């Protein structure tokens, strides 16, 4: 079959096989730690509100944090045992987050009110999206957008294609790869459940061609399933970027500032699909996920971690560090988020824990831009990164906006290619955040003015 792709893009760590070699043949191992710490803000939108207190006994799957509004999902206990703390903890961002810690009693008792809906081909389509919401499912590819929100369309919008994102274009990660090999049926079940819920006829499972085993396994699982097909993709970063994948598979471009549904597409990560199948078929909430633990650890592995596992425990399960780490991050090397220390817990979107040794972690100094154009040739969006960088560094965010910085997906391709090691992506993130804050302040001011006008 013809392999599809998008324009431009890069091949990060090409010679090193994207850092995936140590784990690509490692089967998924279950791992349950002594304790977990579940943060309440595991989704984009409003954080969940803790509904347990210190000393409570909780069972696996019990709601410990309630959703607070539409853009919010509940958090469930991922192990059974005693709640040891409900408190603010420092996390990856600047602000501390609310978290519930549980000490494992290793009885692994589940709550007894699970509501399995059974076979996805016979389930009442109306029950699927509520089940997804109640199971606390968010986008597991890294964005952690609440899945039920993604599947609830505004008036007049419709979806004709669901793309399952099995590209896994990030470096070092093989969690999705292994999931596709080992749980292929579940992924197709999850896809079918959503297709039926939204009355969509086309389901496309898109996988980069550096994962032939996953393509074969998914093709086998998709055989005989209505409307489902597997689409091999060219191995290129960021193939798994939502916008790039949509363009590659359907030829449509999500309009600037818009959503995939504007071009009638919904993209779901393979992990999300498997979680949806668990929620619909077994009624089980999202309490575990596959995470690749790799880099300078003794035995790199793919672990099925309970949500909230402390990074240190997961690394310990992999034999600990093989050398002194200089940097540890969640996710792949192109977009991963650095951990301040290794006592940070994983979340629903943690697809990888990667440790870099001292040498790999050394930061490079910026040198002058030589205008070589490698950033322009790399940008999957078609921006001129060097121009935006000049504007952003000068504090001219308005100019950066005019140069379409808001269309930047922060994939890091330009910064990866830059021979002068310029910090392009960080500058763009800063500019985007600034612009978003400005727009928010403006909207708030306009609202206040309107209110004031009405009062008079």
Partner 1 sequence: MSLRLSTAPHVHNPVTTQRLMICVIIALLPCTAVGIYAFGLPALILVAVSCVSAVVFELLWQVIAHQEVRIKDCSALVTGLILGLNLPAAAPWWVAVIGSGFAILIVKQLFGGLGDNFLNPAMAARAVLLASWPVHMTHYVAPTFFAGTLGFDAVSTATLLVTKSAALQDLFLGNIPGTIGEVSKIAILAGFLFLLVTKTVSWRIPVVMVGSVALFSWAFGGDPLMAVLSGGVLFGAVFMATDYVTSPMTPWGQVIYAFMIGLIVTLIRQFGSYPEGVTYGILLMNICTPLIDRFLPRHIYGHVKTEGKKEAKQA
Q: What is the DSSP letter of 344?
A: P
Sign of CA dihedral 373, 375, 381, 383: negative
Rounded to the nearest whole angstrom, what is the least distance from the CB of residue 382 to partner 1 in the complex? 5
Rounded to the nearest whole angstrom, what is the least distance from the CB of residue 391 to partner 1 in the complex? 12
Which residue's entry shows tokens 């596709």? 180
Q: Which long-range contacts (CB under 8 A, 24 or more apart) does 218-223 make?
A: 218/166, 218/180, 218/184, 218/187, 218/188, 220/184, 221/184, 221/185, 221/187, 221/188, 222/188
Rounded to the nearest whole angstrom, what is the least distance from the CB of residue 343 to partner 1 in the complex? 11
Which residue number, 293 or 333, has a Cβ lying nearer to partner 1?
Answer: 333
For residue 143, how many other CB atoms are within 10 A of its CB? 15
Rounded to the nearest whole angstrom, what is the least distance from the CB of residue 321 to partner 1 in the complex? 9
* Cα 171 to Cα 169: distance, rounded to the nearest angstrom: 7
Rounded to the nearest whole angstrom, what is the least distance from the CB of residue 333 to partner 1 in the complex? 4
Phi, psi of 323 (to 5 degrees): -145, 170
Rounded to the nearest whole angstrom, what is the least distance from the CB of residue 198 to partner 1 in the complex? 17
HSE value, Cβ hemisphere, 13 Å, CA-based, for 43: 29
Which residue number, 141 or 283, has a Cβ lying nearer to partner 1?
Answer: 141
Rounded to the nearest whole angstrom, what is the least distance from the CB of residue 322 to partner 1 in the complex? 14
* Cα 347 to Cα 307: distance, rounded to the nearest angstrom: 6
Buried b (16+ CB within 10 A) or exposed e, 280-314: bbebbbbbbbbbbbbbbbeebbbbbbbbbbbbbbb
Which residue number, 59 or 252, has a Cβ lying nearer to partner 1?
Answer: 252
Which residue number, 80 or 292, has a Cβ lying nearer to partner 1?
Answer: 292
Strand segments (E) across 270-351: 288-295, 301-306, 325-330, 337-338
Which residue number, 364 or 447, has a Cβ lying nearer to partner 1?
Answer: 364
Which residue number, 183 or 210, has a Cβ lying nearer to partner 1?
Answer: 210
Strand, helix or coil for residue 206: strand
Which residue number, 29 or 160, has a Cβ lying nearer to partner 1?
Answer: 160
């Amino acid at each position: 079959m013809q392999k599809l792709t998008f324009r431009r893009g890069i091949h990060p760590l090409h010679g090193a096989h994207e850092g995936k070699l140590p784990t690509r043949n490692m089967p998924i191992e279950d791992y349950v730690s002594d304790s977990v710490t579940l943060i309440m803000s595991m989704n984009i939108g409003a954080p969940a509100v803790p509904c347990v207190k210190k000393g409570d006994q909780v069972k696996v799957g019990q709601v410990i944090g309630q959703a607070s509004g539409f853009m919010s999902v509940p958090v469930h206990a991922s192990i059974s045992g005693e709640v040891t703390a409900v408190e603010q903890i420092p996390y990856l961002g600047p602000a501390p987050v609310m978290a519930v810690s549980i000490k494992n009693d290793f009885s692994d008792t589940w709550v007894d009110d699970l509501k399995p809906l059974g076979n996805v081909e016979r389930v009442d389509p109306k029950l699927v999206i509520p089940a997804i919401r109640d199971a606390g499912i968010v986008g597991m590819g890294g964005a952690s957008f609440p899945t039920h929100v993604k599947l609830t369309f505004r008036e007049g919008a419709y979806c004709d294609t669901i793309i399952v994102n099995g590209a896994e274009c990030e470096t070092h990660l093989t969690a999705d790869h292994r999931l596709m090999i080992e749980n292929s049926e579940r992924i197709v079940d999850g896809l079918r459940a959503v297709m039926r819920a939204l009355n969509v006829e086309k389901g496309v499972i898109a996988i980069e061609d550096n994962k032939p085993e996953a393509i074969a396994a998914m093709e086998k699982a998709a055989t005989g399933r209505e409307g489902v097909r597997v689409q091999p993709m060219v191995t290129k970063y960021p193939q798994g970027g939502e916008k790039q994948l949509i363009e590659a598979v359907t030829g449509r471009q999500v309009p600037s500032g818009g959503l995939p549904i504007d071009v009638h597409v919904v993209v779901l990560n393979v992990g999300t699909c498997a979680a949806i199948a668990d929620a619909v078929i077994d009624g089980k909430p999202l309490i575990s996920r596959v995470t690749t633990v790799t880099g300078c650890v003794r035995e790199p592995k793919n672990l099925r971690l309970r949500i909230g596992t402390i990074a240190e425990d997961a690394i310990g399960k992999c034999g600990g560090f093989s050398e002194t780490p200089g940097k540890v991050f969640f996710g792949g090397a192109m977009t991963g988020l650095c951990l301040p220390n290794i006592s940070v817990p994983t979340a629903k979107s943690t697809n990888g824990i990667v440790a870099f040794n001292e040498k790999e972690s050394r930061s490079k100094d910026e040198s002058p831009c030589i205008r070589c154009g490698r950033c322009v040739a790399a940008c999957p969006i078609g921006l001129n990164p060097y121009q935006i960088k000049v504007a952003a560094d000068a504090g001219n965010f308005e100019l950066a906006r005019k140069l379409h910085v808001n269309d930047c997906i922060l994939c890091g391709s330009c910064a990866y290619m830059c021979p002068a090691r310029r910090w392009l992506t960080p500058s763009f993130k800063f500019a985007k955040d600034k612009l978003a804050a400005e727009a928010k302040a403006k909207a708030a001011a306009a609202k206040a003015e309107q209110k004031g006008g009405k009062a008079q």
